[in-house]
């Protein structure tokens, strides 16, 4: 116990020197700690203080963005398990040919247009 007390006193001295250097105080002045830090209530409401902390802390804002991104990923994952429907029109353009049997007036000018209806059913 005496060794621990001596170690704590030495640590206190080293930490007080660092503290004084941070305050730009040349002399090693004594640091007095009060028994209680404060005994009055906050002047503003707790919600106001929390909003101020949230708006000024970039790490908290980053965590909120990550949380929101994870919520959207969950939404996308839930929707990817549902069936999908598609309706559209597709076409094929035919190319030219050197076949002598094909009339040159329509060679390469044919286009086939057809409707497309699709249903995607996830299997899992």
For 76-88, the pLDDT digits (tens) are 988 888 888 999 9
pLDDT value of position 107:
63
Q: Which of 36, 26, 37, 31 is nearest to 13 (CA)?
A: 31
Structure tokens at 47: 């919600």
0.85 surpassed by pTM: no
Residue matched to tokens 């050197």: 98
Paired with 89 in beta bridges are 115
Calculate mean pLDDT across residues 90-115: 72
Structure tokens at 43: 């002047």
C-alpha separations of 28 from 20, 35, 36, 38, 61 in Å: 7, 22, 24, 26, 41
Per-residue pLDDT band for 96 (boundaries 50, 70, 90) equals confident
State the Cα torsion 7-10-15-19 to the nearest 10°.
160
Calculate mean pLDDT across residues 16-29: 81
Per-residue pLDDT band for 102 (boundaries 50, 70, 90) equals low
SS3 123: coil
In 12-110, at which residue ranges do the beta strands (DSSP E only) sit?
84-93
Calculate mean pLDDT across residues 97-107: 64
Pair 122, 80: CB distance under 8 Å? yes
């Amino acid at each position: 116990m005496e060794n621990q007390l001596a170690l704590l006193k030495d640590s206190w001295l080293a930490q007080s020197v660092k503290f004084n250097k941070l305050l730009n105080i040349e002399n090693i002045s004594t640091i007095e700690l009060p028994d209680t830090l404060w005994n009055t209530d906050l002047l503003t409401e707790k919600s106001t203080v929390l909003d101020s902390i949230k708006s000024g802390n970039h790490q908290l804002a980053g965590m909120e963005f990550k949380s929101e991104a994870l919520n959207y990923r969950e939404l996308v994952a839930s929707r990817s398990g549902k069936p999908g429907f598609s309706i559209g029109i597709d076409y094929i353009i035919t190319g030219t040919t050197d076949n002598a049997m094909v009339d040159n007036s329509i060679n390469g000018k044919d286009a086939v247009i057809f409707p497309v209806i699709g249903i995607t059913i996830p299997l899992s």
